Amino acid sequence: MLSNKSKRAWTTAILALAAILVLSVGAGCGQKNKTGGAAKEKVVATYNGGQITESEFNKELDLMVFLYPQYEQIVAMDEFKEFLLEQQVAYKVLSERAGSDAKAEGEKMAEEQIKAMHDQAGDEFKADLDKHKLTEQDVKNYMAKMFSIDADFRSKVSDEQTKAQFDKIEDDFTVASVRHILIGLTTSDNKERTKEEALKIAKDIEAKLKAGEDFAKLAKEYSDDPGSKDNGGLYENKEVSLWVPEFKKAAIELPLNQISEPIETSYGYHVLRVESRTEKTFDELTDDQKKNVKSMAAGEQINEFMQKELPKLNIKSNLPKKEEPKKEEPKKEESNQDQNKEGK
């Protein structure tokens, strides 16, 4: 429940970039014209060395809504479509530049991701694909392209750059055991609370804890966090980066075994106690953790491409614009002459 939705590494964040990555599909599958040749497809963007067709762009929109249904409204906005198209060009160029090793790694990672989606969603995965008129291969191609870009840029990151990136985010790898009680703005039986009501209860619990009452017992009685309530409010040996920013900050800064004042997050108010905390050095990171840090450094290089090289591609957009509703013109008043005619 306290999970931090922001992704801190490119290999995990890359799915959150669904709105701005390219998918090249359907090569050679255009509709036939009357003479038997492939119908010429509308081009919605040109750039130095290539183009984006209407079907490529529409597929990108379909994938966006498939992966992030909450964005369904925003994809209809002209301004967002222009942004998406520009990014689609950028990532199409980058994926074409990726080396063979990076592309092979991208394929492998895409296979693993598809399997994970199958395992998590089961039959719903296929049903959702059908709903959005997508195939599993569409999604796999899309992910392979994303991951190949990551792998290509990551291969160019030095050990020194990886260490420098770790130094910027080393707190994220701190492991802590935290016991907490959440007084939510929505109760466990779905009743609403005001902030004032939640804060008052949280302060009362803080007083009880400081008076020596048992933390685990109070958590089971009062906490609105289903993820820890039955465990006496305990999250044990978790990376603090998994938590929302305010909770993470407290887990890092609060002295051990001290009862906190109520801490506000988007979930409500938390009273917590940090029972243990271990900081990690760069040398203590696992191989996967070092890979994630390297991916973050690679992400900064991708951002540099966006800022410096993308403008040189000379992108020209031809996306159709939504027609603004026509305003009704006010009716003209009849002239005196017309009125006189009517009066005759």
Asked, for residue 1, whether it belongs to a domain, the answer is: no
Write phi, then psi, for 287 (nearest 5 degrees).
-60, -40
Same domain, 186 and 243: yes
Question: Is the predicted pLDDT of residue 59 greater than 60, yes or no?
Answer: yes
pLDDT at 189: 78
Residues in contact with 112: Cβ distance below 8 Å, sequence separation at least 6, in sequence order: none
Question: Is the predicted pLDDT of residue 75 greater than 70, yes or no?
Answer: yes
Average pLDDT, the chain: 84
Please tell me the pTM assigned to this model. 0.67
pLDDT at 152: 95
pLDDT at 41: 84
Residue 191, domain CATH: 3.10.50.40
CA atoms within 13 A on the CB side of 325: 2
Asked, for residue 322, whether it belongs to a domain, the answer is: no
Q: Tens of pLDDT along 231-275? A: 999 999 999 999 999 999 999 999 999 999 999 999 999 999 999
Alpha-carbon distance of 310 to 92, in angstroms, equals 11
Strand 43-47 relative to strand 316-317: parallel, antiparallel, unpaired?
antiparallel
Question: Is the predicted pLDDT of residue 325 greater than 80, yes or no?
Answer: no
Same domain, 142 and 49: yes
pLDDT at 327: 60
Residues 167, 168, 171, 175: is their CA dihedral positive or negative?
negative
Question: Is the predicted pLDDT of residue 104 greater than 50, yes or no?
Answer: yes
pLDDT at 322: 73
Domain end call among 278, 304, 330: 278
pLDDT at 30: 37
pLDDT at 165: 94
In this prediction, residue 39 has a pLDDT band, given cuts at 50, 70 and 90, of low
Residues in contact with 10: Cβ distance below 8 Å, sequence separation at least 6, in sequence order: 150, 154, 292, 295, 296, 298, 299, 302
Same domain, 136 and 237: no
263 secondary structure, DSSP code? E
Same domain, 196 and 259: yes
Question: Is the predicted pLDDT of residue 287 greater than 60, yes or no?
Answer: yes
Same domain, 244 and 313: no
Say how far residue 171 (Cα) sits from the centre of its chain.
21
Asked, for residue 339, whether it belongs to a domain, the answer is: no
Mean pLDDT over 22-36 rounds to 35
In this prediction, residue 40 has a pLDDT band, given cuts at 50, 70 and 90, of confident
Residues 191, 197, 201, 203: is their CA dihedral positive or negative?
positive
Q: In what order do the strands lie in the sheet with 316-317?
A: 50-53, 43-47, 316-317
* Residues shown for the chain: 344
64 near 71, Cβ under 8 Å?
Answer: yes
In this prediction, residue 18 has a pLDDT band, given cuts at 50, 70 and 90, of very low
Asked, for residue 234, whether it belongs to a domain, the answer is: yes
Same domain, 158 and 37: yes
pLDDT at 100: 95
- Residue ranges making up the domain that contains 118: 10-167+291-317
Q: Tens of pLDDT along 308-320? A: 999 999 999 988 8
Q: Tens of pLDDT along 119-134? A: 988 889 989 999 999 9
Same domain, 114 and 187: no
* Lowest-pLDDT choice from 11-15, 146-150, 203-207, 305-309: 11-15
Asked, for residue 77, whether it belongs to a domain, the answer is: yes
Question: Is the predicted pLDDT of residue 102 greater than 60, yes or no?
Answer: yes
Asked, for residue 67, whether it belongs to a domain, the answer is: yes
Q: Where are the alpha helices (DSSP H) in 122-240?
A: 123-131, 136-154, 159-169, 195-210, 215-222
Same domain, 231 and 150: no
Same domain, 199 and 55: no
Question: Is the predicted pLDDT of residue 50 greater than 50, yes or no?
Answer: yes
Same domain, 38 and 163: yes
Same domain, 161 and 202: no
* Lowest-pLDDT choice from 68-77, 82-91, 308-317: 68-77
Asked, for residue 332, whether it belongs to a domain, the answer is: no
Question: Is the predicted pLDDT of residue 226 greater than 50, yes or no?
Answer: yes
Same domain, 18 and 67: yes
Residue scoring higher pLDDT (185 or 329): 185
Alpha-carbon distance of 214 to 202, in angstroms, equals 15
Question: Is the predicted pLDDT of residue 38 greater than 70, yes or no?
Answer: no
Write phi, then psi, for 64 (nearest 5 degrees).
-60, -50
Extract the tokens encoding 145: 């392209």
pLDDT at 1: 54
* Lowest-pLDDT choice from 72-76, 94-98, 109-113, 148-152: 72-76
Number of domains, the chain: 2
Domain end call among 250, 278, 306: 278
Task: Give me the long-range contacts of 323-332 (CB less than 8 A, separation at least 24).
Answer: none
Mean pLDDT over 36-41 rounds to 61
Mean pLDDT over 145-157 rounds to 93
Asked, for residue 261, whether it belongs to a domain, the answer is: yes
Alpha-carbon distance of 41 to 59, in angstroms, equals 14
